[in-house]
A = this chain, B = another copy of it.
């Protein structure tokens, strides 16, 4: 329930509490949830704190409100089956490959201008730089460099990186990964890419730059990936509006 001694903000705990009730069927679509004042009495929390939690859930599409009437559970959004934001691991599995990776380097560096811009940090703020060769069925698929703000994505180790970054971020750090913007362009492989991807001089690569945000808009990741052009194509669908 609500633990006032928890480091997790009270409004956030209430959000999770209500979401859990919706997910497990305790609260059904179009059902009224207890009013703000009832929750305030129930949990001995101020109504403003309740309102903050409920406002967030309304913004996220879980609830809807009607002035004078109450707050109701929303029907489940149609899940956009269009390609979602997935990690490299998830993407390779989707394509039927066995994903893997070889760590090239892992360090904390002061963010340069480009990285600071992308992550909306001050220049020289410490960030993790993780450089990996990503494998599919044990063959190099991409050279990937990931930047994460060190004071946001805390406590990274090589072990965590060798497992799943997204899982660590979502489950251990309880950060809500939300959306990403990707820029896709063609390029000619540079020296390090040639070596690490085991391709010939003059080979093309598909360069994908991804900037990812948490639900609250905070950038948490910037990734540069150079994919072997002979092994990877990006596929997606779009609709006429």
Residues of A whose CB lies within 8 Å of any CB of B are 48, 58-59, 61, 64-66, 69, 72, 78-85, 120, 122, 177-188, 202-207, 216-218, 227, 229, 232-241
Known contacts A64-B217, A177-B240; can you find 4 more A-B pairs with CB under 8 A? A78-B181, A83-B238, A182-B238, A185-B206
> A231 — nearest CB in chain B belongs to which residue?
B185
A36 to chain B, nearest CB (A): 16
What separation, in Å, do the CA atoms of A182 and B234 have in the docked complex?
8
Known: A66-B120, A217-B61. A85 touches B202 (CB 8 A): no
Point out the residues of chain B lying under 8 angstroms from A83, CB to CB: 238
B120, A229: Cβ atoms closer than 8 Å: no
What separation, in Å, do the CA atoms of A27 and B202 have in the docked complex?
45
What separation, in Å, do the CA atoms of A66 and B151 have in the docked complex?
12
A165 to chain B, nearest CB (A): 13
Contact partner, A186, options B80, B85, B122, B204, Cβ 8 Å: B204
Can you tell how many copies of this chain the complex includes?
A: 2
Point out the residues of chain B lying under 8 angstroms from A186, CB to CB: 186-187, 204-207, 227, 229
Known: A64-B217, A217-B61, A217-B64. A185 touches B238 (CB 8 A): no
Known: A81-B241, A217-B61, A240-B177. A206 touches B184 (CB 8 A): yes
The 4 closest A-B pairs by CB, nearest first: A186-B229, A185-B233, A186-B186, A186-B204
Point out the residues of chain B lying under 8 angstroms from A84, CB to CB: 238-241
B239, A183: Cβ atoms closer than 8 Å: no
B179, A240: Cβ atoms closer than 8 Å: yes
B85, A240: Cβ atoms closer than 8 Å: yes
A15 to chain B, nearest CB (A): 15
B184, A235: Cβ atoms closer than 8 Å: yes
A209 to chain B, nearest CB (A): 8
A69 to chain B, nearest CB (A): 8
Point out the residues of chain B lying under 8 angstroms from A187, CB to CB: 186, 204, 229
A22 to chain B, nearest CB (A): 16
Contact partner, A185, options B82, B229, B239, B240, Cβ 8 Å: B229
B80, A180: Cβ atoms closer than 8 Å: no
Known: A240-B84, A241-B84. A235 touches B188 (CB 8 A): no
What separation, in Å, do the CA atoms of A236 and B184 have in the docked complex?
9
Contact partner, A202, options B69, B79, B202, B216, Cβ 8 Å: B202
